[in-house]
Amino acid sequence: MARDRLRLPLALVAAVVVAEAAVWLLRPGDEVIEPAQVSARSYFSAADLARARDFRRPQLALSLGILVVEAGVLVLLVRRPPRLLRGPFRRPLLAAALAGAILSVLADAAPLPLKAIARARAQDVGLVTQSWPGWAGDLLKGSGIGALFAGVGAAAGIGLMRRLPRGWWAPGAVVVVAFGAATVYVAPVALDPLFNDFAPLREGPVRADVLALSRRAGVEVGEVYAMDASRRTTAANAYVAGLGSTKRVVLYDTLLENFDRAEIRLVVAHELAHVRYRDVPNGLLYVALVSPLALLAAARLTDRLAPAPLRRGDRAGPATLPALALSIALVSTAVTFVSNQLSRRVEARADSYALTLTGEPEPFIAFERRITLRNVADPDPPAWATALLATHPSTVQRIGIGEAYASGGR
């Protein structure tokens, strides 16, 4: 009995330890320029800092509130599973798929007022250009895609639990990795175009810079696309997506239209670093390393939260889904807190590589300042928020990398 009580905490600790070990294994080392110590007040006015804090910190509270509401829906369903989930069902896997899709829609809809408040605040500071009906349409499309994925995942999860009640987490980890790889491969060509239009970067100075930088970096980038981000936002950004034949660099049109050529070169060089160092495949490798023990922890937590009949030996069914979904959400949140360390270090390496490839620290520092102002970002957020939630270094840390490079340091 004592050993049974220890299974859950031991599995949770093991999941976190393995996640930390995977961060250590994949963490960039000497390629990263260690940032110089800089002060936000040296680059931003008091008004700039106040505006960023007044916008971003309530937005952070709203984002956390959305997560709490979504988790609250699952907690409520775990404590009081609806009678419709209890069966009996002639086709339990089909019922699980339907129940999973409905749970996904409920979790999306419950925090809708908080999402609307966050959007209205973004509109007030000039970040949002999309109409409310357009935003509602995006929510419906996103909810529909989420419901489809949740339905398939629910059927797969319950199917594995019914066939392998004690060891379903092992093949479940294989499914997670395969699904992740398939999504990364398919998303640029099947999912992203549902929300934005993409066009190959037209001939001109920027495309010439992209080709020259890619030759200098010795990487094959696939295609470079411009995305019509301005239909939704004034914020600027860029990213790398896809695997194999779908690999691509995507630049926001707001970046191309509002930043100068030297700044865009630095952004392109940053994205080329992700290609050079195979950061997307390495992200999937991280998932492969972490998912087995993470799912084991989720399995142990599901056993603890599941309805009493299941704990007495009944087979899993739709009534198990709230406990399963809540368990996966809690464990994945803990693992994400750990994995964000790796993400920040990877992004710091991409910044370092961009500086090394272009040799232009002044435009780099200017760009970091300008994009922070344009995106109404907090250049120096609270340390706890960076440590737990940030996937990128803070602006002051990124400026510090530029200053360190300019002074010849690493």
The sheet with strand 248-252 has its strands ordered as 198-200, 223-227, 248-252, 238-241
Of the listed ranges 10-14, 174-178, 217-221, 332-336, the one predicted with least confidence: 217-221
- Which pLDDT score, from 0 to 100, does residue 204 have? 87
The SS3 of residue 248 is strand
| Gap between the terminal Cα atoms of the chain | 54
For residue 200, what is the enclosing H or E element? strand 198-200
pLDDT digits (tens, 9 = 90+) for 70-81: 999 999 999 888
Position 366 pLDDT exceeds 70 = yes
For residues 331 and 302, is the Cβ–Cβ distance under 8 A?
no
Q: How many CA atoms lie within 13 A of 342 on its CB side?
A: 23
* Euclidean distance between CA atoms 61 and 164, whole angstroms: 40
Range of the domain at 129: 2-406
Name the band, by pLDDT with cuts 50, 70 and 90, for residue 223.
confident
Q: How many domains does the chain have?
A: 1
The single-letter DSSP state of residue 57 is H
Name the band, by pLDDT with cuts 50, 70 and 90, for residue 310.
low
For residues 15 and 334, is the Cβ–Cβ distance under 8 A?
yes
Position 296 pLDDT exceeds 60 = yes
For residues 386 and 401, is the Cβ–Cβ distance under 8 A?
no
- Look at residues 179, 340, 358 and name the one whose alpha carbon lies nearest to residue 265: 358
Q: How many CA atoms lie within 13 A of 130 on its CB side?
A: 21
Average pLDDT over residues 97-106: 95
* Euclidean distance between CA atoms 341 and 147, whole angstroms: 30
Of the listed ranges 151-160, 167-176, 221-230, the one predicted with least confidence: 221-230
H helix runs in 164-278, sequence order: 169-186, 205-217, 253-258, 261-276
Where in 201-333 does DSSP place strands (E)?
223-227, 238-241, 248-252
User: Does the predicted TM-score (pTM) go above 0.85?
Assistant: yes
Position 309 pLDDT exceeds 70 = no
- Which pLDDT score, from 0 to 100, does residue 50 have? 97
For residues 237 and 263, is the Cβ–Cβ distance under 8 A?
no
Name the band, by pLDDT with cuts 50, 70 and 90, for residue 7.
confident
